[in-house]
């Protein structure tokens, strides 16, 4: 059985004081949740303050990106050591906004995934097709390649999470239907089985991301191969994120 993981990706939103206010209210509202993992990935600047509030609660912290070196002359970057030190358990890597706005390619993302794992951080590797890929019938090719290239050098003993985020569904209000998402999730699980063996593939959590809301989370989570959600906009308000965390109740 895969334990569901509900993750909030705040992207470039919230100051430290806004993050702290959210965190204080949020922990009180999810203290009765223990049958699923809860994760928030705020901006780097909020990590330290939120760590103090999430200490001794079930809520985990993650980052939205990192560089793959431990330290050095890399102006503007953050290392895996720094993320561990500030209390992160997870790091989102290869998000479509990193790929498409900041030009990250599969090689760079792979370096980051390998570095995360070697520092004991759990990478959430994001894959997803553009609308034009989908319309050209290339969805499986695109996400299959992103998965295989992103996980090069990773072994079946390593702990990682995959997130399927169709680019056309991110921030657009257009969610993939549960059936359409499930088709890609089940393809990704087969691909994981071909890379790491069936036994490992059955344990890897594959999250869905793209306009997840309280109104559509139950349908998505009912699918066999959807093991959680990576939530953008709807994770910015306590009430809507709590409702998503408590899906199915
Ligand atoms: P939205 O939920 O705002 O569509 O964002 C999805 C996403 O990119 C999460 O990483």
pLDDT tens-digit profile of 113-154?
999 999 999 999 999 999 999 999 999 999 999 999 999 999
Report field, pTM of the whole predicted structure over 0.85: yes
pLDDT tens-digit profile of 157-207?
999 999 999 999 988 888 789 999 999 999 999 999 999 999 999 999 999
> Of these residues, 95, 97, 119, 185, which one is catalytic?
95
The Å distance, Cα 40 to ligand 1 centre, comes to 13
- 185 catalytic per annotation: no
The Å distance, Cα 210 to ligand 1 centre, comes to 5
> Of these residues, 129, 165, 182, 185, which one is catalytic?
165
Token pair 């169709």 in the structure block, residue: 166
- 25 catalytic per annotation: no
Q: Cβ(62) to ligand 1 under 6 A?
A: no
What domains can be seen in the chain, in order of their start residue? 5-245 (3.20.20.70)
The Å distance, Cα 11 to ligand 1 centre, comes to 9
- Which ligand 1 atom is the nearest neighbour of the CA of 211? 4
Length of the chain: 249
What is the distance between the alpha carbons of residues 66 and 90, in angstroms, rounded to a whole number? 11
Residue with the smallest CA separation from ligand 1 atom 7 is 232
Alpha-carbon distance values, 110 to 52, 100, 115, 239 (Å): 31, 16, 9, 35
CB 62 within 8 Å of CB 92: yes
């Amino acid at each position: 059985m895969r334990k569901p993981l509900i993750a909030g990706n705040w992207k470039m939103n919230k100051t430290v004081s806004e993050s702290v206010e959210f965190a204080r209210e949020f922990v009180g509202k999810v203290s009765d949740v223990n049958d699923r993992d809860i994760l928030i990935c705020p901006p780097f600047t909020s990590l330290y303050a939120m760590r103090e509030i999430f200490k001794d609660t079930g809520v985990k912290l993650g980052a939205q990106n990192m560089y793959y070196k431990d330290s050095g002359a890399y102006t503007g970057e953050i290392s895996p050591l720094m993320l561990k030190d500030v209390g992160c358990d997870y790091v989102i890597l290869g998000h479509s906004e990193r790929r498409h706005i900041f030009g990250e390619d599969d090689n760079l993302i792979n370096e980051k995934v390998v570095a995360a794992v070697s520092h004991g951080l759990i990478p959430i590797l994001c894959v997803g097709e553009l609308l034009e890929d989908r319309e050209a019938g290339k969805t499986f090719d695109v996400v299959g390649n992103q998965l295989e290239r992103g996980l090069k050098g990773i072994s079946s003993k390593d702990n990682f999470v995959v997130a399927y985020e169709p680019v056309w569904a991110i921030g657009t209000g257009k969610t993939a239907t549960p059936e359409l998402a499930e088709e890609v999730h089940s393809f990704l699980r087969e691909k994981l089985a071909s890379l790491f063996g069936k036994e490992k593939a059955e344990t890897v959590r594959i999250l869905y991301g793209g306009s997840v809301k309280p109104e559509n989370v139950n349908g998505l989570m009912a699918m066999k191969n959807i093991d959680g959600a990576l939530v953008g906009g709807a994770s910015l308000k306590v009430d809507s994120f709590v409702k998503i965390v408590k899906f199915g109740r």
